[in-house]
Structure 1
Amino acid sequence: VFSILGYHMHHMPPSIMVTVVEHCWVAPPPGTVAEQSLPLTLFDLPFLHFPRVQRLLFYEFPHPKTHFIDTLIPNLKHSLSLALKHYFPLAGNLIIRPDSIRPEIRYMDGDSVSLIFAESSNDDFNNLTGNHARNASEFYHLVPQMPHVSDTLVLVVPLLALQVTLFPNFGICLGITFHHVAADANTLVRFLKSWASIAKLGGDDQAFLANGSLHPFYGRTVREDPNGLETSLWSKMREIKLDEGQLQYPDLTNKVRATFVMRQAHVQRLKKLVSARRPTLLHVSTFTVTCAYVWVCIVRSRSVAADEDELEHFVCVADCRARFNPPIPETYFGNCLTQCSTTAKNSQLVREEGFLMAAELIGEAISKKAQNDEEVFKVMETFILSVKGLKWERVVSVAGSPKLGFYNTDFGWGRPVKSEIISIDGTGAISLSECRDSEGDVEIGLSFPKIQMDAFATIFAHGLEII
């Protein structure tokens, strides 16, 4: 138990400590799920070597430790077990055999999820849940460590770890570490909402059963593999050794994490500006203008001036469940994402018209994907090959989406007061989510060295004042 957290302790400032109250392994109720396997698809394979997704959800919980131990722990364990009955692959493992045609997710009787209950000695709950710049290292004691991969002849890779940390009389933090190869955020948020809805009703899954929008759809025949892409992609992927090194603690020296809010009024002004100056552009969405604005602010905030011909890359993903004919159910369990990417010269983004150029490039990249089914498949092949050659310090990628609704995950003690994607510390992505308190606003999460964060904050605020 302690070794799981010991990994974090080693790196943490001494002021921040968590004590493990209980470490348990939670399985679906005995005899409720048959042993079964889900093969990875063309859409899962690109995430085989992806860094683990780490998310935190903070909740106000003005109760003492006794209430946490007597009431909350038993309810969360029981409700998680019931949720895993429906989302059983998350209790299973990724299985890679040396001779396998392709990897699979396997659930066997007795498989379970690591769930840690902990108590923080730090009463800094309000600081951690703010939008201002905070040291990135302060969050890692709240992130659960994934159980180790067992690597005999067959590779067995856990997919999910959970941690619930109490800040006595202040709040609770739910920490999630998740392997993206199992599913995308659409699936993850449905699992969390299922767990939450069962917990809210004191451990009864009847309401969950009545709510069809949360039932996972496990069909794998929905996507035939066009042109044998899956086999071809797996033959490339299997050459790369599955490296636990990717899980290592990222370099957080001088890194701070902050949240910026793009108000709906700003979004509308940016949309109007694009529509007026680029009237032929089809895709002028909240996502397009927000990403374009942030991309340009990031490029301008770097302290070292770049060569004007240096290439700047932008990468995002789009859910493509509805793109297929017939559409894949919204509740499909797995990854169903296609990559949209674009490139500009540094000089095109730093000049005065930079925002319009960025909006045009991102809008066109998304439109191209939306209009062409073949593009959806082609991209997964190039996804692996393209990222190999990029200069990562010149890539702005996006984690999350304002449409996912993580702020609607209510376990019975209210909606989260803050959502954070911790894994952007290591991937360099920006995180996007809906705003907790105001519909139409967008939260943007960043993790940068302090000097760059200060520069970004100034550029971001100034630009919005003058539009």
Structure 2
Amino acid sequence: MEFSAVKYISECYIKPKYEVEESEQPYHLSPFDLIFLSVHYNQKGLLFAKPNQETFNIHKLLQNLKDSLAETLVHFYPLAGQFDTTINEDQHRCLVYVDCKKGPGARFIHAKLDVTVSDITTPSHVPKVVKSFFDHQNGGEVVNHDGHSWPLLSIQVTELIDGIFIGCSMNHVLVDGTSFWHFWNIWSQIQQAINGDEQISVSRPPIHEE
């Protein structure tokens, strides 16, 4: 089945809701982390049905997601920065680290595609168009090392006819599978609190000291 191209509506960048003292210092990476500089970003997404077609407000959802993401980044502040490299020619040393203040922040994209949830879930194979639900495609050429100029975290919210797909692209140098879903869970908890469904209680924030 052929699908039309995803239409990109808007783009902005999200910083932590308030200043984090620790973000003033470089976030150093371990030798094991640096192994992943040449591989691609970690990408996963969640597909939701619209709760109520008549009362659903995409603009309210987007604003709530931006607000909750800004609060989530207080706990995951390195994801709002970019990589930087220091070269010491005298010591023949090259140091790659995260400058938590570098760059505009995490990218947040709003896109739209006129297909239904069943168009995505019914085929026996994942439709190729799903790849466009994520940022950092660029012909598949973007790798983790590009975090020197690309955001370390990108969120793309793609509005479907009867659903919402939230695609998350996260630099694999910083995040493995376990910490990826830890980020999702904390963001979800904060988002639910903004919606009034529960109180904010970040039960297990990430540990940044190695």
If the TM-score is normalised by the length of the shorter chain, which range does it land in?
0.7 to 0.9
Residues 87, 95 of structure 2: 8 Å contact kept:
no
Please name the residue that 1:315 is paired with. Answer: none
Specify which of 155, 176, 183 is matched with residue 191 of structure 1: 183
Residues 83, 194 of structure 1: 8 Å contact kept:
yes
Q: Deviations over 1:136-168 (max 9, x none)?
A: x2212211137989x9xxx44531111011113
CA distance 1:43–1:67, change in 2 (3 Å): same
Give the aligned residue type for 1:72. Answer: L
CA distance 1:90–1:186, change in 2 (3 Å): same
1:206 CA displacement: 5.5
Map 1:207-222 → 2, pairs under 5 A: 207-209=200-202, 211=203, 213=204, 215-220=205-210
1:48 CA displacement: 1.1
Larger radius of gyration: 1
Map 1:342-421 → 2, pairs under 5 A: none
1:36 CA displacement: 2.2
Q: Deviations over 1:35-77 (max 9, x none)?
A: 2211110220211111222222111224449733342011000
Q: Deviations over 1:213-250 (max 9, x none)?
A: 3x011112xxxxxxxxxxxxxxxxxxxxxxxxxxxxxx
CA distance 1:65–1:26, change in 2 (3 Å): farther
Give the aligned residue type for 2:82. Answer: N
Q: Distance in 2 between matches of 1:81 and 1:50?
A: 27
Map 1:127-146 → 2, pairs under 5 A: 127-130=119-122, 132-135=124-127, 137-145=128-136
Specify which of 159, 169, 186 is matched with residue 166 of structure 1: 159
Specify which of 58, 63, 66 is matched with residue 69 of structure 1: 58
Please name the residue that 2:43 is paired with. Answer: 54
1:90 CA displacement: 0.7
Residues 81, 102 of structure 2: 8 Å contact kept:
no
Residues 54, 177 of structure 1: 8 Å contact kept:
yes
Please name the residue that 2:111 is paired with. Answer: 118
Name stretches of at least 5 consecutive residues in structure 1 with no aligned partner: 1-12, 221-467
Specify which of 19, 36, 56 is matched with residue 7 of structure 2: 19
Task: Please give the TM-score of this superposition, normalised by the length of structure 1.
Answer: 0.39
Residues 114, 160 of structure 1: 8 Å contact kept:
yes
Q: Deviations over 1:75-108 (max 9, x none)?
A: 0000000000110011111212343542111201
Residues 27, 99 of structure 2: 8 Å contact kept:
yes
1:115 CA displacement: 0.5
Q: Deviations over 1:385-437 (max 9, x none)?
A: xxxxxxxxxxxxxxxxxxxxxxxxxxxxxxxxxxxxxxxxxxxxxxxxxxxxx
DSSP 3-state at the match of 1:46: helix
CA distance 1:121–1:200, change in 2 (3 Å): same
Please name the residue that 1:256 is paired with. Answer: none
Q: Distance in 1 between matches of 2:108 and 2:9?
A: 11
1:171 CA displacement: 1.3
DSSP 3-state at the match of 1:186: helix
1:24 CA displacement: 1.3
What percentage of aligned pairs have identical amino acids?
A: 25
DSSP 3-state at the match of 1:207: coil
Residues 159, 165 of structure 2: 8 Å contact kept:
yes
1:132 CA displacement: 1.6
DSSP 3-state at the match of 1:104: strand
Task: Name the structure where helix makes up a greater proportion of residues.
Answer: 1
Task: Please give the TM-score of this superposition, normalised by the length of structure 2.
Answer: 0.81
Residues 82, 103 of structure 2: 8 Å contact kept:
no
Q: Distance in 1 between matches of 2:73 and 2:8?
A: 23
CA distance 1:87–1:146, change in 2 (3 Å): farther
Q: Flag the structure with more relative contact order, 1 or 2, with Cα contacts below 8 A and sequence separation at least 6.
A: 2
DSSP 3-state at the match of 1:81: helix
Q: Distance in 1 between matches of 2:166 and 2:207?
A: 26
Please name the residue that 1:45 is paired with. Answer: 34
CA RMSD for the aligned pairs? 2.9
1:185 CA displacement: 1.3
DSSP 3-state at the match of 1:48: helix
Q: Distance in 1 between matches of 2:36 and 2:169?
A: 15
Name stretches of at least 5 consecutive residues in structure 2 with no aligned partner: none
Q: Distance in 1 between matches of 2:54 and 2:110?
A: 11
DSSP 3-state at the match of 2:180: helix
Map 1:218-257 → 2, pairs under 5 A: 218-220=208-210
DSSP 3-state at the match of 1:77: helix
CA distance 1:121–1:157, change in 2 (3 Å): closer
